[in-house]
Amino acid sequence: MSYYKIDSLEQYFKHYNKSIREPRKFWGKIAEENFTWYQQWEKVVDFNMAEADVKWFVDAKVNIVKNAIDRHLARRGNKTAIIFEPNNPDEPALHITYNELHQRVCKMANVLRAQGIAKGDRVCIYLPMIPELAVAVLACARIGAIHSVVFAGFSAAALATRINDSDCKMVVTSDGGFRGNKTIGLKSIVDEALQSCPSVKSVLVAKRTNDEISMHADRDIWLQPLLDEASDNNVAEIMDAEDPLFILYTSGSTGKPKGMVHTTAGYMVYTAYTFKNVFNYEENDIFWCTADIGWITGHSYILYGPLLNGATTVMFEGVPSHPDFSRFWEVIEKHRVTHFYTAPTAIRALAKENIDYIQPYPLKSLKVIGSVGEPINEEAWHWYNDHVGGKRCPLVDTWWQTETGGIMISPLAFITPTKPTYASLPLPGIQPVLMDEKRNEIEGNQVTGSLCIKFPWPAIARTIWGNHQRYKDTYFSTFPGKYFTGDGALRDEVGYYRITGRVDDVVIVSGHNLGTAPIEDAINEHPAVAESAIVGFPHDIKGNALYGYIILKETGESRDRNNLANEINMMISHQIGPIAKLDKIQFVNGLPKTRSGKIMRRILRKIAEGDFSNFGDISTLLNPEIVEEIKDGRI
Ligand code: WT7
Give residue-wise pLDDT tens across range 158-175.
999 999 999 999 999 999
**Residue bearing the CA closest to ligand 1, atom 8:** 373
Instruction: Give the distance (Å) from ligand 1 centre to CA of residue 89.
Output: 30
**Residue bearing the CA closest to ligand 1, atom 11:** 375
Ligand 1 atom nearest the C-alpha of 512 is: 21
**Residue bearing the CA closest to ligand 1, atom 16:** 373
Instruction: Give the distance (Å) from ligand 1 centre to CA of residue 430.
Output: 16
* Cα–Cα distance measured from residue 326 to residue 357, given in angstroms and rounded to the nearest whole number: 5
Alpha-carbon torsion (553, 559, 560, 566), positive or negative: negative
Please compute, for residue 85, the number of CA atoms within 13 A of its CA located in the half-sphere on the CB side: 27
C-alpha 430: how far from chain center: 19
Instruction: Give the distance (Å) from ligand 1 centre to CA of residue 401.
Output: 5
Ligand 1 atom nearest the C-alpha of 409 is: 17
CB 633 within 8 A of CB 621: no
Instruction: Give the distance (Å) from ligand 1 centre to CA of residue 312.
Output: 25
Give the C-alpha distances (Å, rounded to integers) separating 445 from 432, 489, 490, 556.
13, 12, 9, 53
The percentage of residues in the chain with a pLDDT greater than 70, rounded to a whole number, is 99
**Residue bearing the CA closest to ligand 1, atom 21:** 513
Predicted confidence at residue 586, as pLDDT, reads: 97
Ligand 1: which of 508, 509, 512, 542 to mutate, judged by most atoms within 8 Å of the beta carbon? 508
Domain boundaries, the chain: 510-633
**Residue bearing the CA closest to ligand 1, atom 10:** 399
Backbone φ and ψ of 259, nearest 5°: -85, 95
**Residue bearing the CA closest to ligand 1, atom 12:** 374
Mean pLDDT across the stretch 314-343?
A: 98
Instruction: Give the distance (Å) from ligand 1 centre to CA of residue 372.
Output: 6
Q: What is the DSSP code (8-state) at residue 468?
A: H
Ligand 1 atom nearest the C-alpha of 404 is: 3
Instruction: Give the distance (Å) from ligand 1 centre to CA of residue 369.
Output: 17
* Cα–Cα distance measured from residue 61 to residue 265, given in angstroms and rounded to the nearest whole number: 8
CB 226 within 8 A of CB 193: no
Instruction: Give the distance (Å) from ligand 1 centre to CA of residue 486.
Output: 10
CB 250 within 8 A of CB 513: yes
Ligand 1 atom nearest the C-alpha of 375 is: 11
CA angle 622, 623, 626 (to 5 degrees): 155
Which amino acid type is present at position 376? I
Q: Which residues line ligand 1 (CB under 6 A)?
A: 250, 296-297, 371-375, 397-402, 423, 485-487, 499, 502, 508, 513
Instruction: Give the distance (Å) from ligand 1 centre to CA of residue 345.
Output: 12
Ligand 1: which of 275, 400, 418 to mutate, judged by most atoms within 8 Å of the beta carbon? 400
* Cα–Cα distance measured from residue 94 to residue 132, given in angstroms and rounded to the nearest whole number: 12
pLDDT digits (tens, 9 = 90+) for 77-134: 999 999 999 999 999 999 999 999 999 999 999 999 999 999 999 999 999 999 999 9
Ligand 1: which of 293, 302, 371, 401 to mutate, judged by most atoms within 8 Å of the beta carbon? 401
Instruction: Give the distance (Å) from ligand 1 centre to CA of residue 603.
Output: 25
Instruction: Give the distance (Å) from ligand 1 centre to CA of residue 575.
Output: 23
Ligand 1: which of 499, 512, 514 to mutate, judged by most atoms within 8 Å of the beta carbon? 499
* Cα–Cα distance measured from residue 535 to residue 86, given in angstroms and rounded to the nearest whole number: 37
Record the pTM: 0.92
Q: Which helix (H) or strand (E) holds 500?
A: strand 497-502
Instruction: Give the orientation angle of helix 625-632 with respect to helix 601-609, to 10 degrees.
Output: 30
Ligand 1 atom nearest the C-alpha of 407 is: 3
Predicted confidence at residue 253, as pLDDT, reads: 66
CB 260 within 8 A of CB 165: no
Which residues, including other chains, have CB under 8 Å from residue 366's CB and lie 6 or more apart?
Answer: 332, 337, 338, 339, 340, 388, 389, 390, 393
Ligand 1: which of 154, 274, 399 to mutate, judged by most atoms within 8 Å of the beta carbon? 399
Instruction: Give the distance (Å) from ligand 1 centre to CA of residue 488.
Output: 12
| Topology (CATH level 3) of domain 510-633 | GMP Synthetase; Chain A, domain 3 (3.30.300)
Question: Is the ipTM reported for this complex over the cut 0.95?
Answer: yes
Instruction: Give the distance (Å) from ligand 1 centre to CA of residue 513.
Output: 8
Order the strands of the 543-552 sheet from edge to edge.
Answer: 529-539, 543-552, 584-588
CB 219 within 8 A of CB 201: yes
**Residue bearing the CA closest to ligand 1, atom 6:** 373
Of 513, 512, 532, 511, nearest in space to 521 by CA: 532
For residue 426, say if its preceding peptide bond is cis, omega within 30 degrees of 0.
Answer: no
Ligand 1 atom nearest the C-alpha of 400 is: 3
Instruction: Give the distance (Å) from ligand 1 centre to CA of residue 90.
Output: 34
Of 515, 577, 578, 508, nearest in space to 543 by CA: 508
Mean pLDDT across the stretch 483-504?
A: 94
Predicted confidence at residue 274, as pLDDT, reads: 98
pLDDT digits (tens, 9 = 90+) for 61-71: 999 999 999 99
Instruction: Give the distance (Å) from ligand 1 centre to CA of residue 399.
Output: 6
1 pLDDT higher than 80: no
Ligand 1 atom nearest the C-alpha of 291 is: 5
Confidence of residue 521 (pLDDT cuts 50, 70, 90): confident
Arithmetic mean of pLDDT over the chain: 96
Alpha-carbon torsion (591, 595, 601, 607), positive or negative: negative
Please compute, for residue 483, the number of CA atoms within 13 A of its CA located in the half-sphere on the CB side: 26
Which residues, including other chains, have CB under 8 Å from residue 126's CB and lie 6 or more apart?
Answer: 149, 150, 152, 154, 159, 171, 172, 173, 186, 189, 190
Instruction: Give the distance (Å) from ligand 1 centre to CA of residue 502.
Output: 9
501 pLDDT higher than 90: no
Instruction: Classify residue 492 by burial, with Cβ atoms within 10 Å: 0-12, 13-18, 19+.
Output: middle
Q: What is the DSSP code (8-state) at residue 434?
A: E
**Residue bearing the CA closest to ligand 1, atom 23:** 401
Ligand 1 atom nearest the C-alpha of 398 is: 17
Instruction: Give the distance (Å) from ligand 1 centre to CA of residue 594.
Output: 31
pLDDT digits (tens, 9 = 90+) for 8-64: 999 999 999 999 999 999 999 999 999 999 999 999 999 999 999 999 999 999 999
